[in-house]
Structure 1
Amino acid sequence: MNSLFERRSIRKFKNKPVENTLIKQVLKAGMCAPSACNSKPWHFIVIDDRQILDQIPKFHNYAQMVKESPVAILVCAQPSNEKIKGFWPQDCAAATQNILVEAVEKGLGTVWVGVHPNEQFEKDFRELLDIPKDIVPFALIPMGYPDEHKGINDRYLEERVHQNKWQ
C-alpha cells in the first residue's frame, strides 16, 4: 500500500513537536499541487504557538483535536492571484490533499478541518491571525505524530463507477 491508502483522519496526537524540516517538506508538497493556469493562489500559515492553537476550538466546533496537535497549517487563498475566476477552491483543495498525503510519508498524522465556505469560521480566523480581507481562510490541517492508528483506507465502491455514460 502507499500513503494515499494509509492516509486517515487523525485526531489524537503525541505530545511531541514536529520538526521545522518536516513542516517545510509538507508545505513543499502542498505547493507542488496543480492549479488552474499554474496560478498558485495559495498561502499557508503555520501555527505552532500553543496560545493561538488553543483559541481555535473556542470558535471552530469541529477543531477540538487542535488542543492536542503541536502544529496546524491554515491553507488560505488569494483569489486575486487566480488566472481563471472561480477555480481557487479546487487549487487549494489539491494543495491541502498533497499536504495530507505527504504528512503520512513523513510519519505524521493530519486531519482536514473545513473552514471555507463558512463565513463565520473565515471571519474568526481572520481576526485571530490578522489575515487581510482579500485572503480567504480555506482549510485547517492539525498535524503531529499520531497517537492513534487506523487501518488501511479502502473506500472503493463499484456502484460509483460509470463507463462512458451514466448507467
Structure 2
Amino acid sequence: MAFFSNYYMDVLDCIKSRRSIRKFENQLIPQEIIEEILECGRWAPSGVNFQPWKVFVVSDPNVKEKLAKCTKHSSLILNAPHTFAIFLDQTKQYHYTKHVQSIGAFFQTLLLALHAKGLGGVWLGEIYNQKDQVSDVFGINDPQLEFMGAIAFGKPAEQGKSSRKKVSEFVVWS
C-alpha cells in the first residue's frame, strides 16, 4: 500500500484488511495528512449530527511522555509518532449512550482513514481507566469533556495480525 499517496482502496477491502498496528516507524506524519484523517473523522455518524468529539493531536515528546504514564500500554504511545486523545464533548445534551456510540463510530472512521492512507493505528481503551489523569495532562477540568480513549498512530513498522469469528458464531436469524 502506498504511503502518503492519493491511492484510495475499496471500502470493503479497507474494512477487512485494517489491523491494529503496535509498532511504528520513527517518522512524523505531515500535518496535512493528519488533517485529512480528521476530515474523514468528522463525517462519522452521530446522533442528531451533534458530532460530540474533541480531539487533541499529541506529537510533542513531553506531552506523549505524560500521556504514556496514564496507561499500562505506555510503549504504544511512546513509540508512535502521534496520538489522538479523544474526548466526548457533552456541551450539547442529547442522549449520553448515543453520544458514546457516536464516539465509537468516530474512532472506527479515524482508524479506517489511517489505514486507507497507508498508515496504521491502535485504539487504546485501557487508558480510559485513568480518564481523570488524562484530563489533567491536557489541563481539562470541565466535567463536560470526558476522555473516551486514544489512538496511537503512524507509519507501520510491521503488519498487524488478527483472526475473526465466523459470522454464524454471532448472528441469529429470526
What TM-score comes out, normalization by structure 1 length? 0.88
The partner residue of 1:156 within 158, 166, 171 is 166
After superposition, the C-alpha distances for 1:125-164 in whole angstroms (9 at most, x for unaligned) are 1111112322011110001000011357654331211112
Find the residue that maps to 1:56 and give its secondary structure: helix
After superposition, the C-alpha distances for 1:75-130 in whole angstroms (9 at most, x for unaligned) are 11112324234321101110010000000011111000015752xx1111111111
Contact 1:6 1:151 in 2 (8 A): no
Distance 2:33 2:55 in 1: 15
Paired position in structure 1 for 2:141: 132
The alignment status of 1:75 with 2:113, answered yes or no, reads no
Distance 2:122 2:154 in 1: 10
After superposition, the C-alpha distances for 1:9-46 in whole angstroms (9 at most, x for unaligned) are 11100011011111111111111111111111111111
Paired position in structure 2 for 1:144: 154
Find the residue that maps to 2:69 and give its secondary structure: helix
Contact 1:73 1:142 in 2 (8 A): yes
Distance 2:73 2:162 in 1: 24
Contact 1:9 1:110 in 2 (8 A): yes
Distance 2:92 2:67 in 1: 27
Structure 2 alignment gaps of length 5 or more: 1-11
Paired position in structure 2 for 1:24: 35
Structure 1 alignment gaps of length 5 or more: none
Find the residue that maps to 1:10 and give its secondary structure: coil
- Map 1:26-45 onto structure 2 (within 5 A): 26-45=37-56
Distance 2:141 2:85 in 1: 14
* Identity among equivalent pairs (%): 25
Find the residue that maps to 1:13 and give its secondary structure: coil
Contact 1:73 1:140 in 2 (8 A): yes
What TM-score comes out, normalization by structure 2 length? 0.85
Aligned length: 162
Runs ≥4 residues deviating over 6 A: none
